[in-house]
Amino acid sequence: MPAPIRDPVIRTTPRPSDINLNGHIFGGWILSQMDIAGGIAAIRETGGGAVATVAIEAMTFHRPVLLTDWVSVYADVVGTGRTSITVHIEVAAMRRGADAEVMVTEGTFVYVHIDSNGKPLPLTSNRPETHG
């Protein structure tokens, strides 16, 4: 059975200024894209409220991102707490001339729902608390 089609939260391409000394895309650029996508997923979970990144529980770079890659960032909420939202994020690259994406990076980020003063705010989601 084929894998379900997923829509990325972000689809972008790196720029020449994003290259590191090895000729690959700098890991910090990838981390930034992941944090943006994870933040969007967390904000959606709150119904539009503000969130802050509080932890990166895990992150693995499987393959380098190349300058000519089309980069897609996928983010799925995998757990919620009283104020926190855990998001698993995958980065895939479509290589020039390829027919399919390859996973290049993945990680698990934790966000906290916050009020206008930056204080943790309980989630009001109907979703039960999970710890994924």
pLDDT digit string, tens, across residues 15-35: 999 999 999 999 999 999 999
* Contact between residue 118 and residue 75 where contact means Cβ atoms under 8 Å apart: no
Nearest Cα to 41, choosing from 7, 12, 70? 7
Dihedral sign computed on CA atoms, order 34, 37, 41, 47: positive
4, pLDDT greater than 60: no
Q: pTM value? A: 0.90
| pLDDT grade for 5, boundaries at 50, 70 and 90 | low
CB atoms within 10 A of CB 109: 25
| pLDDT grade for 6, boundaries at 50, 70 and 90 | confident
Reported as a single tens digit per residue, the pLDDT across 51-96 is 999 999 999 999 999 999 999 999 999 999 999 999 999 999 999 9
- In order of their start, the domains of the chain are 10-114 (3.10.129.10)
97, pLDDT greater than 80: yes
